[in-house]
Amino acid sequence: MKKFAFLLSVVALIACSESGNVAEADNVGDVLAEESSSSVVELSNSTGNVPLSTTAQSSATGKTPTSSSLASEGGKSSVAVQSSSSGKNAKSSSSGTVPSNSNYLDFLDEEMSSSFGCGGGVAGGAGAMGGAAGGVTGMGIGISVDSSSLAIFPYMQIIKARTAKLVSNGVAAADAEKKAKEELMAALGLDTLFRENPLQERNARFTRSNVEHALNYFFSLDTVAVASFIKSFSEKGTLDRSEYCGIWNVSLTPGWGQATTDLVYIRARVWASNAAQRGCAATGYEEVPPTYIFSNLYRKCIGLPYCDDKMFGAVQRAGLKNIISDTLYFCNVNGWTFLSSFEEDTKDVPCDKVGKVIESPTVNERYYICKADGWNVATKMDYEVQDLACGESAKLVKSPTDTSKYYLCKNSKWKIADQMEISTTNVPCDRVGKIVDSGTKDYKGRIFYICRDTGWDAATQREADVGDRPCDAEGKSVQGLIDTNMTYVCHQNAWADFYDAPCDAEGKRIRDWKEGLKEDYICYNGKWYYSRNWSCGLPKEYYFNPDVQYGTLKDERDGDTYRTVEFNGYTWMAENLRYVPTGAQSVPVQEGCEIAGRFYSKEAAKTACPAGWKLPDSTVVNSLEKGYDRLSIYLQNCYNQQLVSQIGSICSGFECNTYGTSFLSFGTSKNPSDKSGKSNAYYWASDRQNPDDVWIFHIGFNDMTYYKDQKNTDDLMTIRCVKE
C-alpha cells in the first residue's frame, strides 16, 4: 500500500490550485464567492512512468484571505482552507480566449467547431448536442434527455437539463443556458481557471471547445452516473464533491505493463499526456487547457486549497476517499508538490521561534521555516539570510552559493533582487537622465537604466544612446553613444530618431543599424523617406547610385534619354525602357511614373530596343554574377542586392546598387510586386543562338535565373536593353 499511496501522490502533482473551495459544498454559491485564485499545470508529453511537474498560477486579489474548513471525509482530519475574494477583474489577453471577468462564460457563445474528433471522430458540433431529441425519462425533472448522446456529449446534456429547469423556474430563456453554464463551472470550481495570475509569465488560454471536450470526456468516464449528475445538477444548480469525485475510481484496462493497483496513476497519465483521451484538444498551444481542467478537479477532490502567493511554503495534508490517505503536499512556485520526508525532518526540531530556518537532512536544498502554524517549506533565500539583519535602508547581498543571485533588503524585508535592483542599489538617482549600464544583455542588446523623476527605470534604446545630453536647441543633432551609426535630433523639445525629425539636405542618405540590419533613409522636401518603401514621388535621380559615373543613351525614336552604366564588360541601360511601340502591347508599370518604365508583351519585346541595342542574352545575363561563386554562402544569398536600386529594396549583406545597375523589382503585369522591400524583378531576354526566341531572366532576393518561356505566357514584363 505504501507503493500505491506513493504512486497516487505522484499523480497528485498535477493537482495544482486552479480553483474551487474543496469543502463538501452544499451551497456552491459560497464556494463561488470565496474562490478567486487559479493555477495551471505543465506535464511531460511522454507516456512513460515519469513524475509529473506542475506550474502554479494564482490570481491577484483585492480582499483579505478568509478561512473555512474541509469537511472530514472517511474519518480523516479536516484541513484548513485559505481562499480569497477576487479584486478587479483582469482583461482578456487575446481575442478568442476566455475573458477574465464576471462575464467570462461569454466565450461559450462562440461558434463550436464542426468536428469533435482528434484526427477523426464524432462530427456534428453544437447542433449535434443541442438538437438531440427523445431520451431518458423518469428522471423527475420533466424534460427529455437524449440517451444516445449521454456517453458522447454528457456536458451539454447536463446544461440542457439545468436550462430547462431554470426556464421552468421563471428564468428568461435567453439567460437560462448561460446561467446553467456559470453554475456548472462554479460547482466544479473551474470558474477561477479563467482569471489572470500574477505569479506566472503566461496564462492558459481556454476556448469553448477546450472546456466542452474536456468535460464531455470527464463525465463520460462513468456513464452509469451521468443520469444522476443530470438529475442532481438540474434540481440544485450545484454538484457536491462526492457526486463527481467517484469518477476517479472508474476502472481502466491496465496498460504500459502496469499492475492493476497502478490504474489510478495510469488514468492520470492518460488524462495528462494523451490529447485524444483528455478531451480531443487540438495540437499546439491548446493541448494544455484540458489538462488544467482535469488537474483542478483532482486537486479539489483530494482536498487541497489554493496554492497562491499567500500560501507559498504551506504544508497541507490531503486525502481522497478510498484512494489516498494522509498524503502531504507543499505549495511552491510550481503549485502543489508531493512532500516527502517532512515528518522525519522536523519531528525532533522544535518550532519555537517564528522565522527560524533549518535545512532538510534528507532532501537536497530543501529548507523549512517556523511560522505561527508550525513548520512550512522555506526558500533558499530564507535559509541564507536568516542571520542577516534587515532594516529600512537598502542592502544588497550576494548569495553565498549562487554567484548570479543577489538578495535585497528593502523596507525591512528580504527579496530576490531583479537586475535593475542589482545595478542601481546604492547608486544615487540624483540627476534626471543619468544612465547606468547593467553590464548584461537581453535579446535586444545591452541593458541600461535611467534616472527619472520617479526613480530608476529601464531605459529605452534611444535614452541609453543619447545619455543625459540636453535637448536645448531645435535641430541639434548628436551621435549615439552606443550605436555610433545612429543620429538623434532635438525636435520639439525632445530627442527623436533622425528620421522622425525634419531634414534639410536634399538627397542626403543616412544609414541606421537596427539589430544588425541596415535601414536606409533619403532626405526629400524636408522629410526622411525609408528606402525600402517604394515611392514614385521621389525624384528619378534618387534611384541611381550617386557615386557611379553614368553614361547617356538618347532614343532617336521618341527623343527620350536614359542613363547607362558599364558592368563586367557590358553597357546596360540603367533605367527601364519607356518606349511606346506602335501596334504592340505595352502598358505603364505605374501611370505617370517615369522611373518605373513599361510592361511589354513578348512580341513587343522582340523589337522594343533602340538601334544599336538589344535584349540581353545568356552570356550577358551570366556576366551579372561574375565572381559570385567565389563568395561565402552568406554573401551569395544577398549578392543580388548589389544589382537593385536602393529604393524599394532590402539591403543587408551588401550595399544596394553597388554598381549602379539600378534594377527595379516590379514583378510582372499579372503578378506585380507592391510590397516594401520588393524582391522580384522580371525582364525579357533573348536566346544567343536564336535572337528571335524571347527568354526571361529573373532577379530575386537570393537567386538569379535565366530560362525559356515554355508556356508562351501572355504576361507582360519590363525591359533593360544592353549595347550591341
pLDDT for 122-159, tens place per residue? Answer: 222 222 223 322 332 222 233 344 444 555 678 888 99
Q: Which amino acid is at 357?
A: V
CB 234 within 8 Å of CB 188: no
> In the predicted model, what is the mean pLDDT of residues 556-571?
97
Q: Please state, in angstroms and rounded to a whole number, the distance separating the CA atoms of residues 413 and 456.
A: 20
Does 722 score more than 80 pLDDT?
A: yes
**In a domain? residue 461:** no
Q: How many CB atoms lie within 10 A of CB 388?
A: 11
CB 140 within 8 Å of CB 161: no
555: pLDDT confidence band, cut at 50, 70 and 90? very high
363 or 43, higher pLDDT = 363
293 or 180, higher pLDDT = 180
Does 532 score more than 60 pLDDT?
A: yes
Out of 89-93, 172-176, 609-613, least confident range: 89-93
**In a domain? residue 99:** yes
Does 472 score more than 60 pLDDT?
A: yes
> In the predicted model, what is the mean pLDDT of residues 41-58?
26
Count structural domains, the chain: 2
Does 518 score more than 80 pLDDT?
A: no
338: pLDDT confidence band, cut at 50, 70 and 90? confident
685: pLDDT confidence band, cut at 50, 70 and 90? very high
Out of 43-47, 108-112, 251-255, 414-418, least confident range: 43-47
Nearest in space to 62 (alpha carbons), one of 195, 190, 183 = 195
Among 291, 324, 357, where does a domain finish?
A: 324
Burial 240-264 (b: 16+ CB within 10 A, else e): bbebbbebbeeeeeeeeeeeeebbb
Name the most confidently modeled range: 133-142, 184-193, 407-416, 650-659.
407-416
Does 49 score more than 60 pLDDT?
A: no
378: pLDDT confidence band, cut at 50, 70 and 90? very high
485: pLDDT confidence band, cut at 50, 70 and 90? confident
249 or 338, higher pLDDT = 338
3-class state of residue 414 by DSSP: strand
Nearest in space to 45 (alpha carbons), one of 287, 213, 280 = 287
**In a domain? residue 639:** yes
- Percent above pLDDT 70 for the chain: 68
Predicted local distance difference test score (pLDDT) of residue 516: 57
Predicted local distance difference test score (pLDDT) of residue 311: 85
Among 324, 346, 363, where does a domain finish?
A: 324
258 or 169, higher pLDDT = 169
Does 698 score more than 80 pLDDT?
A: yes
513 or 332, higher pLDDT = 332
Q: How many CB atoms lie within 10 A of CB 527?
A: 12
671 or 370, higher pLDDT = 370
302: pLDDT confidence band, cut at 50, 70 and 90? confident
215 or 608, higher pLDDT = 608
**In a domain? residue 55:** yes
pLDDT tens digits for 84-102? 222 333 333 333 333 333 3
Predicted local distance difference test score (pLDDT) of residue 421: 95
Predicted local distance difference test score (pLDDT) of residue 192: 62
183 or 247, higher pLDDT = 183
CA distances from 432 to 59, 394, 422, 439, 719 (A): 36, 21, 20, 21, 59
Does 82 score more than 50 pLDDT?
A: no
Give the structural domain span for 634: 542-723
Q: Please state, in angstroms and rounded to a whole number, the distance separating the CA atoms of residues 142 and 164.
A: 9
**In a domain? residue 184:** yes
Q: What is the DSSP code string of 644-689?
A: B-STTS--SSS-TTTTS--B---B-SSSB--STT---EEEEEE-SS
5 or 606, higher pLDDT = 606
380: pLDDT confidence band, cut at 50, 70 and 90? very high
> In the predicted model, what is the mean pLDDT of residues 405-416?
93
**In a domain? residue 525:** no
**In a domain? residue 625:** yes
Provide the CA 606 distance to its chain's centre, in angstroms.
53
195: pLDDT confidence band, cut at 50, 70 and 90? low
> In the predicted model, what is the mean pLDDT of residues 594-622?
94
390 or 206, higher pLDDT = 390
CB 661 within 8 Å of CB 616: no
Q: Please state, in angstroms and rounded to a whole number, the distance separating the CA atoms of residues 420 and 248.
A: 48
Q: What angle do CA 21, 26, 27 make, to 5 degrees?
A: 75
**In a domain? residue 474:** no
Does 510 score more than 90 pLDDT?
A: no
Predicted local distance difference test score (pLDDT) of residue 3: 35
Out of 201-210, 315-324, 555-564, 631-640, least confident range: 201-210
Does 63 score more than 90 pLDDT?
A: no
> In the predicted model, what is the mean pLDDT of residues 698-702?
85
194: pLDDT confidence band, cut at 50, 70 and 90? low
Q: Please state, in angstroms and rounded to a whole number, the distance separating the CA atoms of residues 249 and 269.
A: 15
Nearest in space to 651 (alpha carbons), one of 564, 530, 540, 536 = 530
- Please tell me what DSSP assigns to residue 23: S
Predicted local distance difference test score (pLDDT) of residue 391: 86
Among 324, 346, 377, where does a domain finish?
A: 324
